[in-house]
Structure 1
Amino acid sequence: MRDDPTVVDLVTRARDGEKNAWDELVERYAPLVYSVCRRCRLAQPDIDDVGQSVWLRLVEHLPGLREPAALPGWIATTTQRECFRLIRATSRVEPVDFVQAPDVPEQAIAEEEVLRHERKTILRTAFAELSRRCQVLLGLLMQDPPAPYDEISRRLQVPIGSIGPSRARCLTRLRQTPALARLAADGPDDRTRG
């Protein structure tokens, strides 16, 4: 995922002043910023402040970004630093219950956050490739709590006995989507190599 040509293209176009590319970068990586902030246990107003700071820093540093493909890691690391800065500025006591263990390097946490974000993005892309019927069925089964089979049967107008086999077919199709096939072909170790 580190050599994602889409990221390189977006960074290049954003550097050239293309507003659509900038908007797409923000839309693509706002969930990453949000997830890092949530791991730091920030309240929504603080998350908004950190997000604004991260995007401002990106505007300042985008022209000098040497490795466009490294943008997700840069965003995760910058977000984490902004969170720590905000926490230090708003309290006199250093937070000790943050998820980062003292001996875990900041970069390792940022990389894990980037990988988690990339996996979610790939899964959302794969899910969007499914038929609308499969999306609705899987959505009903994955909501918390899952919809009861009788409700699914009524909403989809299918017999209760066909829900399980339909779910299995939808999950098979999901596994076979190009997005998930690429992820499986890369293997877990390939995404973490430098």
Structure 2
Amino acid sequence: MLRARDGDAAAWTALVERHTETLWAVARSWRLSDADCADVVQITWLRLVERLDTIREPEAVGAWLVVTARREAGRTARERGHEPLGAASAALPPPDDVVAGREQVCAVGTALRGLPRRCRDLLRLAALVPRQAELAAALDIPVGGVGPTRARCLQQLRRKLVS
């Protein structure tokens, strides 16, 4: 966190890679749309940038991000008329389903880490940036190359998941 605050791009990348999946999980727990979840995650990172110099315990940045995401997701959910998944106990899945789901998420995360960096970056950004033009600009590739490249990366991910 301290290196990121000092402008170390690699430290920022590591921070984002470490915490983004958790922020998405927090946003999804409020039953938000994918677009609203993406907004919550992006706003959470923006809040960190805005308050970078005020964080007193850099080692607790993960907890700070989760609390911030929870607050932002709650605000967004209230605007949309949603409740968090835990609010209605009848909506909770059976524990076996929760465990299976977590195992699946872990398997996908492990498979993602085994992909080449270009594919990891593309797939992570594609989850956040729905427009191909923005995705192409962020990755510095032609707009027409986004779809085929994404398809190849997804195929590599599928192969890793079945092996």
TM-score range for the pair, normalised by the shorter chain length: 0.5 to 0.7
Gap change, CA 1:139 and 1:83, over 3 Å in 2: same
- Separation of aligned partners in 1, 2:70 and 2:80: 15
- Separation of aligned partners in 2, 1:140 and 1:55: 33
Determine helix, strand or coil for the equivalent of 1:48: helix
Q: What amino acid maps onto 2:49 in structure 1?
A: V
Cα deviation for residue 23 of structure 1 reads 2.0
Residue 162 of structure 2 corresponds to residue 140 of structure 1: yes
Query: Counterpart in 2 of 1:132?
Result: none
Cα deviation for residue 100 of structure 1 reads 5.2
**1:1-194 counterparts in 2 under 5 A?**
11-91=1-81, 95=83, 98-99=85-86, 124=110, 139-140=161-162
- Separation of aligned partners in 1, 2:55 and 2:110: 28
Cα deviation for residue 20 of structure 1 reads 2.1
Between structures 1 and 2, the one with greater helix share? 2
1:88-147: CA deviation from partner (whole Å, max 9, x where unpaired): 2233xx63x63158xxxxxxxxxxxxxx9xxx59x949x97xxxxxxxxx9437xxxxxx
Cα deviation for residue 39 of structure 1 reads 1.4
Q: Runs in 1 of length 4+ with deviation above 2 angstroms?
A: 138-141
- Separation of aligned partners in 2, 1:89 and 1:19: 35
Q: What amino acid maps onto 1:140 in structure 2?
A: V
1:47-68: CA deviation from partner (whole Å, max 9, x where unpaired): 1110111010000122111111
Q: Name the larger-Rg structure.
A: 1
The two structures have a TM-score, normalised by structure 2, of: 0.52
Gap change, CA 1:100 and 1:15, over 3 Å in 2: farther
- Separation of aligned partners in 2, 1:22 and 1:100: 34
- Separation of aligned partners in 2, 1:67 and 1:100: 31
Give the root-mean-square deviation of aligned CA atoms. 3.2
- Separation of aligned partners in 1, 2:67 and 2:73: 10
Cα deviation for residue 19 of structure 1 reads 2.0
The two structures have a TM-score, normalised by structure 1, of: 0.45
- Separation of aligned partners in 2, 1:100 and 1:61: 30
Q: What amino acid maps onto 2:24 in structure 1?
A: Y
Unpaired segments ≥5 residues, structure 2: 89-101, 115-159
